[in-house]
Structure 1
Amino acid sequence: MAKKNYPESFWHPRYWPTWTGFFFIWLAAFMPWPVKRGLGRLLGYLLWFLAKRRRHITEVNIALCFPELTPSEQKQRVKDIFIANGIGLLETATAWFRDPEYLRPSTRLKGGEHLQNALAQGKGAIIIGIHFSTLDLAGAINKLGFDIDAFYRKHSNPVFEWIMTRSRKRIYGAAIDRHDLKGALKRIKSGRAIWYSPDQDFGRKVSVFAPFFGIEAASIKMTARLAKMTGCAVVPLAVRRLKDNSYELEYFPALDNFPSGDDIADATRINRIIEGIIRQHPEQYMWMHRRFKTRPEGEKSFY
């Protein structure tokens, strides 16, 4: 695919739709929570109806990962996923444009001592985050208790990239490009905690196959590699949107004997932890991505 050529000036007419879209996103961030959730649900329904490609991917993932559900239950779960992710878009707007203190009354942090204990060792920490619909909101909530860094994926649209990076730097100490291994190592070795999400398919070259919901999935080796190169702790984190519309972040104890030196065993262990957290609130996970895109040699694509 040819690389898009973007104008240098942020005020070029090509960017006007981006600026307009972010203006409405900024407005949404300052709406009352009941309004934001209502709009998020509506947006989720619209995406479920209109985004046929993403709906197909989600349907395949749910059928693979939850075969015990009946077809009607699977269909309802897919719809619930789109609704939860629609709400997540409004939560992201809130995280990007509101002061994190705005979130304090509706949130609670559990297990913070596990990250504190890990950082007290002086070797930094990797926080195992997960691609929930609450991802960016979780970063803002985390700011209420900890100052951490985060990996991110650079956006091709320079205006979008500028706004996103500027917003995330309000939440995190540093926003690190996912390809900047040298920068990440430097931050970890200085004693920082870095949020890392190893739950997507990054391709065969950087992965091993390990079970995820009973399906062999390309699972990135970087978690174990970073831990081995720095000696840092690896601390899992769960993020939950609760029934009463409050939010909960829960840190778990740092993994012992990690990495083990066996890439498949380490990836399997990380996948098992991530799977266990997802199963608590499966509708809040971003099932729209092709988690099982890369297949072992000879296997056909699920999608």
Structure 2
Amino acid sequence: MLVNLFRLLSHLSLPLLHLSGAALGWVVYAASPSYRRRLNDNLARAGYGHLRRRAIAAAGKSVMELPFVWLAPARRVLPAAHIESLELPRAALAEGRGLIFLTPHLGCFEILAQAVSEHIPLTVLYRPPRKAALKPLLEQARARPAMRLAPANLSGVRMLMKALKGGQAIGLLPDQVPQQGEGAWAGFYGKPAYTMTLPAKLHQMSGAPIILAYAERLAHGRGFELRFVRFEEDLAGTPEQQARSINAAMEKLIALCPDQYFWSYNRYKTPPGVAAPVAAAAGA
């Protein structure tokens, strides 16, 4: 049923989907106390409480644009993704050590891999959804000729490393809460967040340069502006130090369009089997 609904919605225009998405954002905000509390708390902690109204609308848009991004024909989707410049990633790939794209939950992160893979072969780390009904929808939506999906397990990590050794690009969501043993506690806007350390490990093993990427949602459904920023933090030291560097880079990137970050995401949850953080050790 969900697949059929998404297929139906994919025929609508992006401006109409974004307009209805803004309304949906306010409906969910009004209907769910836990969602409302988390969004407000995260915005206030980051110093962006004044952007609450825009963030609520953006959250709804991020949901309603998915049928278009996932299921509309490429001839409709790709023109909506305006790539600012491929000079930076192509120069990084020319070094011959592969390339690591880090893409947080900022703007329309779902369209990034789809658009970039049209120009640069890409392997993306993929965590199957908890709801089984969503699995075929997501796998079908993310399947692209030049994009490979690497599962979030040991075999997937091997796929990522193989791609880097072959001088190819890979993509990761650095602000996705990892599972036990796959991260370290580090401050994110002043509060400990269990943070993925895989990007640092892959960088150290391969020497691959890291580039931050995001797709800013343009007003009035005019599409998305895809931008690339060089990663400039130091990834030496302990896993905790590496995690702090990754979070610092994410905070700088989010500052470029803060209202479009996924503020309702439970970034500070403690994964099963992981000991609760010690504030001082996490740099909070």
TM-score clears 0.5: yes
Instruction: State the 1:249 CA deviation.
Output: 0.9
SS at match of 2:262: coil
Q: 2:159 aligns with which of 183, 194, 202?
A: 183
Runs of 4+ in 1 over 6 A off after TM superposition: none
Question: 2:258 corresponds to which residue?
Answer: 282
Instruction: State the 1:105 CA deviation.
Output: 3.8
Q: 1:215 aligns with which of 185, 191, 200?
A: 191
- Relative to structure 1, is the Cα distance of residues 241 and 203 closer, same or farther in structure 2, using a 3 angstrom cutoff? same
**1:29-178 alignment runs, 5 A limit:** 29-66=10-47, 69=49, 73=50, 77-170=51-144, 173-178=147-152
**1:229-244 alignment runs, 5 A limit:** 229-243=205-219
Unaligned ranges ≥5, structure 1: 1-19
Instruction: State the 1:133 CA deviation.
Output: 4.5
**1:224-263 alignment runs, 5 A limit:** 224-243=200-219, 245-253=222-230, 255=232, 259-263=235-239
Question: 2:273 corresponds to which residue?
Answer: none
CA distance in 2, matches of 1:139, 1:163: 16
CA distance in 1, matches of 2:171, 2:14: 26
Which structure has the larger Rg? 1
Deviations 1:173-197 (A, max 9, x none): 1111122222222222222211101
Number of equivalenced pairs: 272
CA distance in 1, matches of 2:231, 2:91: 9
- Relative to structure 1, is the Cα distance of residues 217 and 243 closer, same or farther in structure 2, using a 3 angstrom cutoff? same
Question: 1:15 corresponds to which residue?
Answer: none
The TM-score normalised by the length of structure 2 is 0.85
- Relative to structure 1, is the Cα distance of residues 265 and 171 closer, same or farther in structure 2, using a 3 angstrom cutoff? farther
SS at match of 1:280: coil
- Relative to structure 1, is the Cα distance of residues 64 and 157 closer, same or farther in structure 2, using a 3 angstrom cutoff? closer
Kindly indicate whether the alpha-carbon contact (under 8 Å) linking 2:81 and 2:111 is maintained by their aligned counterparts in 1.
no
Unaligned ranges ≥5, structure 2: 271-275
Percent same amino acid at aligned positions? Answer: 22
Indicate the RMSD between aligned Cα atoms, in angstroms. Answer: 2.5
Instruction: State the 1:254 CA deviation.
Output: 5.4
CA distance in 2, matches of 1:210, 1:278: 17
CA distance in 1, matches of 2:209, 2:27: 42
